[in-house]
Structure 1
Amino acid sequence: MSGDVVDSDLVEGVPRRRIVLASMVGTTIEFYDFYIYATAAVTVFPHLFFPKGDSTTALLASLATFGLAFVARPVGSVVFGHFGDRVGRKATLVGSLLLMGIATFAIGLLPTYAQVGIVAPALLAVLRFSQGLALGGEWSGAALLATETARPGKRGWAAMWPQLGAPFGFLLANGLFLALIFWLGHRTADPDLDGAFMTWGWRIPFLFSAVMVAIGLYVRLRIMETPVFTRAVERGEKVKSPLAQVFRSSWRQLIIGTFVMLATYTMFYIVTTWALSFGTGKRPPEGTGLGFGYVDFLQLQLIAVLFFAGMLPLSGWLADRVGRRRLLLVVTAGIMAYGGLFAPMLGSGDTSYGTMLAFLIIGMTLMGFTFGPMSAVLPELFPTNVRYTGSGISYNVASILGAAVAPFVATWLATQYGVGWVGLYLFVAASLSLIAILVMREGKDTSLDSEPHDHAVR
């Protein structure tokens, strides 16, 4: 056995399609759980889990708990990364999926502020933190499951499959919320706090996650350990403390990987979470938003996310054809240009549905091209014995610098200085990513079985 994998339809006796399904179904469930919280943070939690008062203050408080998970994600990458590099990829992936499922299901059972006071937002924060821990361990494990079992020369394509979990999870989460709003006759512009949706309907997506987790566990328990990890163990490369080792031997790769991901994270959560709150916010002079109906705007987002999903296979193919660096350089330059569209497309205060849809489609198209190669790019930066920890830390520290603060900073900038400054914020984030990509070495032809000293910075 040599190279990254056995060149057949079987990897250690397991069909590749099962490995692909295991990597994709887990990330779909994890992102579904993550996104139902993001949607509820805008439409439900400000009304039910925080004291009544100024609506903007309640929204910002809700978005702060939303961002709490991103603080937890690097912690999760360290905890799960330790076991992923010490024990193996399979067992760690099962653990992360279980934690996410339990935390999400428990959110659906929480009492509200009116029932238990300050205990309600405190419990919400704890469970949101738990979601972050789980996702911090999930992504890198799923990425390694895909990349460490890929055919030679097809790693970018294989790594694309777990990335599909992000748009699939978004579509499932927001599609279910949309269906419930229609079914229960919920009015998002003037919510009835005693209505069916606000009393029990919003809980259904959270409780439904238990069914999805059961399916995911069934699939993941039927796969084997990756051959790349098994061979590293046989060579005696396993280290006692992956965290200490990765900071000692791969700290440059940690910094590069973090900033490579920065633009991707910043853009996605501006185009989804912030755009939802801005698009459905009151028009001037009562507010600073665009005044779209929540249902109407969510439909626009769901259409745009289809472009995100559609670009992922193309990005995986291109990453193998032209290389990761060349693709990401072009796409990141496109993200910088996209930042210049915020003021002309959203700044007039009377943005049409067509303009808003075009704005979202451009953003989601770029998102597909930049997100697709990442589950190949980050693992390729690190040797096998610290790959789970290293790729996870880079991915999730970027989530703090990008995603965690993006909705909050963008809301503040749009309110204080106008929507054009949100575009400038994205431009700066993309500029930092462009520098990191220029420094990053090309990993297309790197063997994941290479020795630790082979993973040097370009």
Structure 2
Amino acid sequence: MQSQAYGRPARQPGRAAFAAFIGTTIEWYDFYIYATASALVFGKLFFPQGDPFYSTLASFGTFAVGFFARPFGGLVFGHLGDRIGRKKALVATLAIMGIGTVGIGFLPVYAKAGVLAPVLLVLLRVAQGIAIGGEWGGAVLMAGEHAPKGKRTFLASFAQLGSPAGLILALLAFRTIGHLPPEAMMDWGWRVPFLASAVLLFVGVVIRAGVSESPEFLSFNERSKPARLPILDVLRNAWSTVLLCLGANVIGVAGAWFLNTFMLNFTTETLGLDRALILDCLFVVAFVQLFNQLIAGWLAQRIGAGRFLAWAAALAMLSPYPMFILVSTGNPVAIVVGIAIAVMCMSGSYAVMAGLMTEAFDVGVRYSAISLSYQSCAAMAGGLTPLIGTILAHAWPGRWLPLALFYSSLAAISLLCLRGLQRRDGASQSLSTVAMSE
């Protein structure tokens, strides 16, 4: 169903939430297969060093490059989304992500192309970063701005479901090719998950084409003229809110990459556990995350986003200690339970932050504002987390306490910034009673 008269745009809450979920699933699948490949094979294929530590560090360095490109993507597509519409920006980001990912699948490796191979890898990784940088804000807004009163927190969380769903697809892809002989895996097997993205790209574009533009954006454009440079309005009038939202996102963003990417390398390289075993464990945990985020969005809508997020951040501070104790046993059930404990706290925060940020900024600059907050957090906290984890693991070999303390500090930053948002004038109502404020 398309929009009605320009001044009375139709809401499509179900379709918009589903399209946000499918779109972000595809984007995160592309991002996660790169993350998984960087932990497992890219070090040997593109950065063949004598010391595995430096190969892994270089591989995670290219992984971080994608995060550093995300704020740029957020600024570009945030501007376009606030000026010409959320839908057009989202279709463009999906296309860029698909091209970048499929391109990686065709790359020559270092043994055949020399230094050109890692250079091309970095360039395509930048394209991925720009795409995901623009994608997140638009997907969240399309789901949230189509939502009826009282359901924005819950429906906006559907965009966040794309992260665990994309992880499930990525792990499924690597579990499938993981049964190949090592020679075939390193020769051509690793390319299959990247080339498969072409099919997902087509599906995503078709689904997104069926959703009408955001009704709030259309109504705002009828009443007001869009800002010439929305980001300048954000920096002039809401810079402190941007910084607090950035900090509040830390555990949801950095925690995801610590648990889903760094832990894959830590368990295989430091603890010496079997790669297939860890992939299987993370596969099970991804389903835990998917269902936990659904429950978190529903629960936060009922009890208040601020209260829920504060509890999630506080519990996240405690979660790495039982996780490392259980993971260090090497028992598959203990590994799943340990990582799942941390993932439930982290993903609860991740799911609910989307709706909270949608409420924090005016509709005319909302795409730019939430993209700046979230993607800047991703560049700093998300991109650097696997690198810092690798350095800590190398500095204290076999000891997990420094890693647990690092994770706790990430959660503490989020908790402090959430408290800062609650203390702001007018913020308490939107944080603790989002459903009522709608």
| TM-score, scaled relative to structure 1 | 0.89
- Residue 389, structure 1, aligned to residue 368, structure 2: yes
Aligned to 1:455: none
- Match of residue 366, structure 1, among 338, 342, 345: 345
What is the Cα deviation at residue 160 of structure 1?
1.6
- Match of residue 358, structure 2, among 353, 369, 379: 379
Mark the runs of 5 or more structure 2 residues left unpaired by the alignment: 422-426
SS at match of 1:405: helix
What is the Cα deviation at residue 446 of structure 1?
7.2
Aligned to 1:436: 417
SS at match of 1:58: helix
Per mean C-alpha deviation after superposition, the further-off stretch among 336-345 and 82-91 is: 336-345
What is the Cα deviation at residue 354 of structure 1?
3.0
Aligned to 1:196: 184
SS at match of 1:238: coil
- Match of residue 132, structure 2, among 135, 140, 143: 135
Q: Distance in 2 between matches of 1:228 and 1:222?
A: 18
- Residue 410, structure 1, aligned to residue 398, structure 2: no
1:13-412 superposed matches below 5 A: 13=10, 15-182=12-179, 184=180, 186=181, 192=182, 195-281=183-269, 289-341=270-322, 344-345=325-326, 350-412=329-391
Q: Amino acid of the residue matched to residue 115 of structure 1? A: K
Aligned to 2:424: none
Q: Distance in 2 between matches of 1:14 and 1:108?
A: 39
- Alignment CA distance shift 1:97-1:446 (3 Å): farther
**Which of the two has greater helix per residue?**
2
- Alignment CA distance shift 1:257-1:86 (3 Å): same
Q: Distance in 2 between matches of 1:100 and 1:343?
A: 34
What is the Cα deviation at residue 228 of structure 1?
0.4
* Count of residue pairs brought into register by the alignment: 422
Task: Report Cα offsets for 1:261-314 as digits up to 9, x if no partner.
Answer: 011122111111111001011xxxxxxx11111001100011111110111111
SS at match of 1:291: coil
Q: Amino acid of the residue matched to residue 403 of structure 1? A: G
Per mean C-alpha deviation after superposition, the further-off stretch among 95-104 and 336-345 is: 336-345
Per mean C-alpha deviation after superposition, the further-off stretch among 368-377 and 300-309 is: 368-377
- The Cα RMSD (Å) is 1.8
Q: Distance in 2 between matches of 1:31 and 1:37?
A: 10
**Contact preservation (8 Å) 1:341, 1:423:** no
Q: Amino acid of the residue matched to residue 373 of structure 1? A: V
What is the Cα deviation at residue 415 of structure 1?
2.1
What is the Cα deviation at residue 439 of structure 1?
1.8
| TM-score, scaled relative to structure 2 | 0.93
**Contact preservation (8 Å) 1:104, 1:207:** yes
**Contact preservation (8 Å) 2:28, 2:163:** yes
- Residue 426, structure 1, aligned to residue 429, structure 2: no
Q: Amino acid of the residue matched to residue 374 of structure 1? A: M
State percent identity of aligned pairs: 35
Task: Report Cα offsets for 1:127-162 as digits up to 9, x if no partner.
Answer: 111100000000110000011010101111111211
- Alignment CA distance shift 1:431-1:15 (3 Å): closer
Q: Amino acid of the residue matched to residue 265 of structure 1? A: V
What is the Cα deviation at residue 344 of structure 1?
3.7
Mark the runs of 5 or more structure 1 residues left unpaired by the alignment: 187-191, 282-288, 449-458
SS at match of 2:315: helix
Q: Amino acid of the residue matched to residue 221 of structure 2? A: V
What is the Cα deviation at residue 18 of structure 1?
2.1
What is the Cα deviation at residue 253 of structure 1?
1.2
Task: Report Cα offsets for 1:85-117 as digits up to 9, x if no partner.
Answer: 001000000010010000001000001101110
**Contact preservation (8 Å) 1:380, 1:446:** no
What is the Cα deviation at residue 25 of structure 1?
0.7
- Alignment CA distance shift 1:351-1:51 (3 Å): closer
What is the Cα deviation at residue 323 of structure 1?
0.9
**Contact preservation (8 Å) 1:342, 1:422:** no
Q: Distance in 2 between matches of 1:338 and 1:96?
A: 35
Q: Distance in 2 between matches of 1:148 and 1:236?
A: 17
Q: Amino acid of the residue matched to residue 42 of structure 2? A: F
